[in-house]
Structure 1
Amino acid sequence: MTSNTDNHFVAQAVHDLGSALWFGGAVMGIAGVNKSGSDLSQGIDRIRVASSAWSRFQPAQFGGIAATLLAGLRLTQVGGRRIALQKGFGAVGGLKAGLAVAGAGATAYAAYSGAQIGKLAEQAQQRGETVEVKDATLPTAGTNPEIQKWQSRQRVTQFLVPALAGANIVCNSWLVQSYRAGATAKGVLRRLLPD
């Protein structure tokens, strides 16, 4: 394989696998992890189950994000000619990069919010207070206001993360399709011919 070809399947595979891990993990968090504690009777246990699951998954999740970002950077490097020649390629590539960075930030903030919920719940438990929650992200009428605040933040970010990760995947699909010969020719002609 020579460096003057468009064949960069390893970077594309690493990017796609990382994105799949990131997106899939975020969806699993919403659908499964954060809700799983609702099957337990104690509020503190509802939070502990989600906190434990997320802390175990975090290295894999941030590995997926790192793979997405680093492989995305490599794909941008090898697609440099297309950015200059093919209309739309640079704009979508820039949007994709922005979505990836925003998604990484949202994921980090979601992790921080979850850690705050866990910390506040443990502190309340140590003070002898009953920790009341429906699940890791949903409060009850009796939930400590500080825990409620972080649960509210967590609920927003838990949906923001897969939305940003998914949008990143959609942009990547557009970029991959733009490598097709017909799409390349149209993009170059649109760049050369004024609207």
Structure 2
Amino acid sequence: MSERNTVLRSLHDVGLAAWFGGSLMGAVGLNGAAKAQGENWEQGARIASAGWAIWTPVNAVAIGVHLVGSSGLLAANAARVATQQGVAASTIAKTLLTGAALAATAYSRVLGKKIELASSDNPSDAEKSARHPLDTGKAERQLACAQWIVPALTGGLLILNALHGEQQRPAQQLHGMWQRYRTLAPHMPMPNWHLSR
């Protein structure tokens, strides 16, 4: 019951921490600094775009590291997911939240790239932007929303991660496995150890 998966947990947690922390810092600090320092919309957008462009490869690595850790932990805990009451539900919730966070991150990058092209003073970027006209006000509102959704979703993943940690306590595992067994065999009597918890 108490196998160690230190490397997988580290990959999972460090990747998620970077994904959450980077997205929150970007939404609060980078975007706020860009607005404060930019003399006009284009300059502010260029500052923010430059910062997000530098962060993107680091974020991609963090997400990849988190997904490797998550997949490894899922494989290592497959028996618990199948036999402990509540673990499958929290695992499904975590998977759905991860998918939503990935989608929001990708959508933010697509919008950010469009705004980067629209605000660029590079002639070749201006040509690319002209081929795909953009309502910058609408795109900026959507981007601001998406950039806040990412830390909200990854924060939710951190909360589910805490729940998974609680579910791994030996007493919780035993109780959860017994509850799972009872759902499969509802006429079994409840043992004394459960009543005296």
Letter in 2 for 1:174: L
Q: Could you tell me whether the CA contact under 8 Å between 1:121 and 1:147 is conserved in 2?
A: no
Aligned AA for 1:159? W
Aligned to 2:51: 53
1:1-195 pair list within 5 angstroms: 6-38=3-35, 39-122=37-120, 146-194=135-183
Match of 1:141 in 2: none
CA distance in structure 1 between the partners assigned to 2:58 and 2:152 by the alignment: 19
SS in 2 for 1:16: helix
Give the alignment's Cα RMSD to 1 decimal.
2.2
Taking structure 1 as the reference length, the TM-score comes to 0.83
Q: Is the 8 A contact 2:20 2:151 kept in 1?
A: yes
- In 1, are the aligned partners of 2:118 and 2:134 still within 8 Å (CA)? no
Q: Alignment length, in residue pairs?
A: 176
What is the CA–CA distance in structure 1 between the aligned matches of 2:34 and 2:2, rounded to whole Å? 51
State the alpha-carbon separation in 2 of the partners of residues 94 and 35 from structure 1. Answer: 35
Displacement, 1:94?
1.3
Deviation above 4 Å: which 4+ runs of structure 1? 123-127
Q: Which runs of 5 or more structure 2 residues have no equivalent in the other structure?
A: 127-132, 187-197
TM value normalised by structure 2: 0.82
Q: Give the greater-gyration-radius structure (CA).
A: 2
Q: Once the two structures are aligned, what percentage of the paired residues are identical?
A: 26
Q: Which letter maps to 1:105? A: A
Q: CA deviation at 1:43?
A: 2.5
Shift of residue 145, structure 1, vs aligned partner: 7.3
Please list the CA deviations of residues 14-40 of structure 1 after superposition, one character each: whole Å capped at 9, or x if unmatched: 110000000000110111111112223
Aligned-partner SS, 1:193 = helix
Report the residue type matching 1:53 in the other structure. Answer: G
Distance 2:45 2:180 in 1: 54
CA positional deviation for 1:8:
0.5
Q: Which amino acid aligns with 2:28?
A: A
